[in-house]
Structure 1
Amino acid sequence: MSHDPIAVSYGRGHLSVSLPPDAVATLVRKQPLPKLADPAGALQAAFSKPIAALPLAELAKGRKSACILICDITRPVPNGLFLRPMIETMMAAGIPLQQISILVATGLHRPNLGDELAELIGDPWVLEHVRIENHYARDEAAHVDLGHTPTRHTPVKLDRLFVEADLRIATGLVEPHFMAGWSGGRKVIAPGVAHHETIRTFHSARFMEDPLAVQCNLVGNPLHEEQLQIVRMLGEVYALNTVLDEDRDLVCITFGEIIASHQAAVDFVSEATNIRFDRKFSTVVTSSAGYPLDKTYYQTIKGMVTPLDILKPGGTLIIASECSEGFGSAEFREAQAKLVELGPERFLATLTAKSLAEIDEWQTEMQLKPMRLGKVALYSTGLAGDDRRLTGVTMVDDIEAAIAESMALSGDRDVAIIPEGPYVVPRFAP
């Protein structure tokens, strides 16, 4: 029996994947959520009826300055929808425009500049009239030291521009995150605008190897608990959270006190994102969610970790990621070279003694999870030369042949396909 080709997210478009005739396909998609018919109206409603907070117009009254955090280019947040209305509401309440700033929460990623910044902001008026800065985690002078978290003693240093603002608002996207449970809300602050020591503590083995530091879990998740403690140390903070569907259209927007408004967005999307299966698969085909998440191999590892719950031990995980920008940082390349040289066990042994992870080494540590479970095969048109070797996984030039090979190897005709990659979380629930 022939199958219709399946469109898998890849770069700015899709990859058409045809399955072998004898394959039995299971499509793994989020449950459909109703699109917001009037996003601008929904935004104003969120501002005027916030969660556990006063309306934005009242919050802004009497404030001398404001700082708005936005995610960097790796997250498709609809900044063009909300930045100008948010800023205009602040101005109408009396905050001078020159005292309002936007800070790009880069974490340890590179800054977003030029055309990329224009794409990220999504509004020429904002780009022209508002002070916009990138966060630089390695700039010592740019951070305020708030001490250490009470429970796990994480050093807390945050970007001065945000800490010293009179009104502080984080904005972001709520989607599954393979360690912190969910992105958005408190995560935009730490690691978003945190000092490299704070970030590298989060990324050390004692957090990364914790069985509760997984996608869609906030209960007992050590990263989430530390992030909440950091928010409480910082004091009064608000957040605007967005949820998008598979078409990148807005389905939910919340505004209010940062912890409560984030939880409301998580509650909204959680059920639709966690898809339960009573069986596992020997062949799982997934993506890195397309642009902008699949710009680098570094980000691709998220797509490898998220579907592991439904991969049979010894099975094959096939992932498509364009990697249009190549590999990732020099530090990540170094970590991958060490993995390829030492092998998974010896590489992990070098990590467990460290209280601070090397920059970007933690992503290589996450790659150990799929490698422990089965075989990883990567289809990418953006990686060339030595980059392909340094992935440490099997590179394939033909996804359909890789699927057929996996089916033949396992003797299992069932194939799970996750077109949207890590934005969907399949769960094994027998």
Structure 2
Amino acid sequence: MNSIQLKYGKELIDVPLSEDQIFGIIKSNTADHHKTEEAVILDALENPIGSLKLREIVKPGEKVCIVISDVTRAWQRMNVYLPYLVDELCKGGITDENIIFISAVGSHRKQTEQEHQRLLGDALKDRFKVIDHDCLDDNNLVYLGHTSFGTPVKVNKIAMDCDHILLTGAIVFHLLAGWGGGKKSILPGIAGYETIMANHAMSLNPEIGKGSNPEIRSGKIIDNSIHADMLEAAALVKPSFIFNVIMDSQGRISHAVAGDYAKAHARGCQIVDDMDGIAIQSKAEMVIASACGYPKDINFYQTIKTVINAKEAVEENGVIIILSECSEGIGNAEIQEIVQNYSTLLDRERAIRTNYSIAKYIGYYATEVAAKHTFILVSSLPPETLTMANIKIVKTLEEALEMAYSIKGSNVKTYLMPHGANTLPKVQNL
């Protein structure tokens, strides 16, 4: 047996496969980095891309809004890099009372005070409070205009009332925008619900009955209308500065980019593609992918990122096994609603087109994957949660493998994806 372990929640699970069964291990192209996280952060701040240094942009007496991610993205280690950004602002003459932290929760749930403190870290938690953006609070939204795609852009009023908006976050592959980070801190991060839904509705194929839009996928920005729409929204907001990190396979900050919100982000996307865009020669009969453990597998909503990456490495009618504890359940009731209330993909698609939401789309997409593959989820979710989606939920990897072997035989060639939420397989001969 092989001694490989995969993350599941806050634990590690042994993978009971022999070397003969493992077709390959899909992991990041990370080289050894000799820089400390501090050195990476400071280097980015001292060498901004397409911009002055942050301390040269701000002036004493001005108000600065720092947009941070929510707790589902605590793996970004914002508690490590935020103190350096605050120090940079202080060098520019900005005082604590003129710094506001807004969490870009998008349409996610509200957070607890303890979670806010976790995001800020020990160095900042007693100096600042965090405001959760509320996409449904129309009184705290400012209308900025429409994009060329017809999306009405409404954004957090508190942020827009500041002299400067500073975007932070991490760059990873993203199922809709191509890459996360960058302009996503604005849309969906601090945008109104109507804005978010209008943008994300472009994830569906323009033709009814065709399901998901093939132009909207991880690692793709050319002809990606969601990406282009987000950029137009960001241009209306005019953020002053961006600071985004890139994580290695060990969950440490290996790179960072700072400066112009579009130019710096583009540089970061190239770094991520070099690291996590993994070339494979062919697809396999089965893929076993970890959602990277807690908090990336906190719910099924977050797990979809792993599903999207894993399906790129498996043959049609193959087996996908996803390890995701989902300690907080599905993550959004609308996922289960779109899955359990309809019996066909077409009925689900029609329902989403009538009343679109991101959560419904995620539920739909999961059923679309399950229609083409055997989809087994190792999770703490009750087995009946996703029955109508044809997603089989089991408690252990051993149960999942037994089920897979009954379909494909015990000699099934298998890819392992230890960091399934991050790594995007790319078949080279297609």
Question: Shorter-normalised TM-score: what interval?
Answer: over 0.9
Q: Tell me, in whole angstroms, the C-alpha distance in 2 between the residues paired with 1:83 and 1:205.
A: 33
1:218 aligns with 2:201: no
Q: Residue 307 of structure 1: SS of its match in structure 2?
A: helix
Give, as a single letter, the amino acid of the residue that structure 2 aligns with 1:116. E
1:358 aligns with 2:361: no
Q: TM-score of the superposition, structure 1-length normalised?
A: 0.92
Assess, with a 3 A threshold, how the Cα gap between structure 1 residues 385 and 317 changes in structure 2: closer, same or farther. closer
Q: Which residue in the other structure is 1:319 paired with?
A: 322
Contact 2:339 2:386 in 1 (8 A): no
Q: TM-score of the superposition, structure 2-length normalised?
A: 0.92
Per mean C-alpha deviation after superposition, the further-off stretch among 99-108 and 294-303 is: 294-303
Q: Tell me, in whole angstroms, the C-alpha distance in 1 between the residues paired with 2:90 and 2:178.
A: 35
Deviation at 1:416, TM superposition (A): 0.7
Percent identity between matched residues is: 25
Q: Which residue in the other structure is 1:198 paired with?
A: 195
Give, as a single letter, the amino acid of the residue that structure 1 aligns with 2:226. L
Map 1:68-107; keep pairs closer than 5 Å: 68-75=66-73, 76-107=75-106
Q: Tell me, in whole angstroms, the C-alpha distance in 2 between the residues paired with 1:207 and 1:98.
A: 44
* CA deviation vs aligned residue, 1:220-261 (integer Å, no higher than 9, x gap): 211111111111112243110100111101110111011111
Contact 2:176 2:200 in 1 (8 A): no
Assess, with a 3 A threshold, how the Cα gap between structure 1 residues 32 and 386 changes in structure 2: closer, same or farther. same
Q: Which residue in the other structure is 2:348 paired with?
A: 347
Contact 2:319 2:373 in 1 (8 A): yes
Q: Tell me, in whole angstroms, the C-alpha distance in 1 between the residues paired with 2:3 and 2:369.
A: 26
1:175 aligns with 2:172: yes
* CA deviation vs aligned residue, 1:182-231 (integer Å, no higher than 9, x gap): 11011111001110011111222555722121111122211111111111
* CA deviation vs aligned residue, 1:73-118 (integer Å, no higher than 9, x gap): 1111121222122113212322231111011000100122122222
Map 1:383-398; keep pairs closer than 5 Å: 383-384=381-382, 386-387=384-385, 389=387, 392-398=390-396
Q: Residue 421 of structure 2: SS of its match in structure 1?
A: helix
Q: Which residue in the other structure is 1:265 paired with?
A: 268
Q: Residue 107 of structure 2: SS of its match in structure 1?
A: coil
Deviation at 1:44, TM superposition (A): 2.2
Q: Tell me, in whole angstroms, the C-alpha distance in 2 between the residues paired with 1:237 and 1:311.
A: 42
Q: Tell me, in whole angstroms, the C-alpha distance in 2 between the residues paired with 1:225 and 1:63.
A: 34
Q: How many residues are paired up?
A: 421
Q: Which residue in the other structure is 1:235 paired with?
A: 238
Q: Residue 316 of structure 1: SS of its match in structure 2?
A: strand
Q: Residue 318 of structure 1: SS of its match in structure 2?
A: strand
Assess, with a 3 A threshold, how the Cα gap between structure 1 residues 320 and 303 changes in structure 2: closer, same or farther. same
1:19 aligns with 2:17: yes
Contact 2:22 2:414 in 1 (8 A): yes
* CA deviation vs aligned residue, 1:386-417 (integer Å, no higher than 9, x gap): 53547641112342343354345335631111
Deviation at 1:25, TM superposition (A): 3.5
- Segments ≥4 residues shifted beyond 6 Å: none
Q: Tell me, in whole angstroms, the C-alpha distance in 1 between the residues paired with 2:70 and 2:203.
A: 27
Map 1:233-382; keep pairs closer than 5 Å: 233-338=236-341, 341-352=342-353, 354=354, 357-358=356-357, 360-380=359-379, 382=380
Per mean C-alpha deviation after superposition, the further-off stretch among 263-272 and 401-410 is: 401-410
Unpaired runs of 5+ in structure 1?
none
Give, as a single letter, the amino acid of the residue that structure 2 aligns with 1:162. A
Contact 1:98 1:131 in 2 (8 A): no
Contact 2:366 2:389 in 1 (8 A): no
Give, as a single letter, the amino acid of the residue that structure 1 aligns with 2:200. H
* CA deviation vs aligned residue, 1:135-165 (integer Å, no higher than 9, x gap): 1111111111111102x11111111122221
Q: Tell me, in whole angstroms, the C-alpha distance in 2 between the residues paired with 1:80 and 1:206.
A: 33
